[in-house]
Structure 1
Amino acid sequence: NLNITARNLLAKEQADGVEAELHVVGKKGITYFKRRADLAGKHEHFGDKPTYADVNVLAEDFIRRYSKGEIDRVTIVYQKFYSAGRQFPVAEVLLPLDGLSADGGEGDAEKPAAKPESANYLFSPEPEGLMKELLPAYFKTTLFSNFLQAVVGEHLARMVAMKNATDASNKLIKSLTRQYNRARQTQITNEISELMGGVEALK
């Protein structure tokens, strides 16, 4: 269950001494956590059709706070879509971006530097400026993708539930139809037997 996964992650972070804050998207999640945790953010306006513009506002806020050092990590818990029959709750770290840094280099300082090539290349814009543009864009699109996967999973769950209900209804209709036909056949047989008995009595 998605809410339980998020709750367990929050409990683990708090047990490790992390000052974690919880932002919840959707009425069901807000209702679930309202009496179970302190909510730093409640976002009910996304609905089942989140737009990039709406998600971008949320992403910009996280990027701004991360850049200022107010937060050092952003983890999202969502229903990851694998296939029509496979969606599972997962927790993924979106910030910091693993292995990348804003200066355009690798995030791992232990990795030896590559040998310079003989050819010279001109970058426009400069790698540092390019990465400062690309990293926020990557974060925003990844966050939006997570939102879309969650929505797809929810719609598929509804479709499966509706299909199961339809199949169950069809089975019930067939069962009742068979029972009706048997009862009707028994009634007709009894009526014929009574008529035959009356005919025999008149002879």
Structure 2
Amino acid sequence: DLFLGGTHTTTTLLEWTMAELLHNPPILAKAKQELSKIPPHQIVQEQDISRLPYIVAVIKEALRLHPIAPILVPHRTEQEVEIHGYTIPKHTQVFVNAWSILRDPTHWDDPASFKPDRFLNSDIDFRGKDFKYIPFGAGRRICPGSSLAMRMVSLMVANLVHNFDWELPNGLKPEDLDMNDGLGMTLHKHEPLVVIPVNHVA
């Protein structure tokens, strides 16, 4: 179950990130520009990621708009508590709506738009310390694979963008790419992403 959970969520995040890049050509161009510091015949390595803040920002923003688990792992109150005037009885099962938190306009400017720059020069992190940004949850029940997932997806996205150009099939325009959510426990794309890689590394 852990293996399936880890691979499915990672590939879903990779698909959403690539979809957002192809849907937003200026952002893809900016990502390619950042990757130009890596020699053209070189594979992006893990140690390179620290020099690629825009790539990391792109992935963080993809996670904000498309949290893989829109409803986090349920919690249960151990005692009666009052929150903002609401009484929550003891042993109440509580579900945290991460999707809503990550699009809350009181915390995010233009929350429905894909803007990786919001994470540049920012200390907002995915490890559960910023409660406005909890794509992996927070506290003791935070996703145990969050750091590994971010490293893996950062490397995959960086190499896909660095080593290939990408085309949409059948003359599809970037603005017409389907960006609707599918239904399920994980927030996958309604229509799978189909793209054509063009190798530009000799």
Using the size of structure 2 for normalisation, the TM-score is: 0.22
Higher strand share: 1
- Larger RCO (CA under 8 A, 6+ residues apart): 2
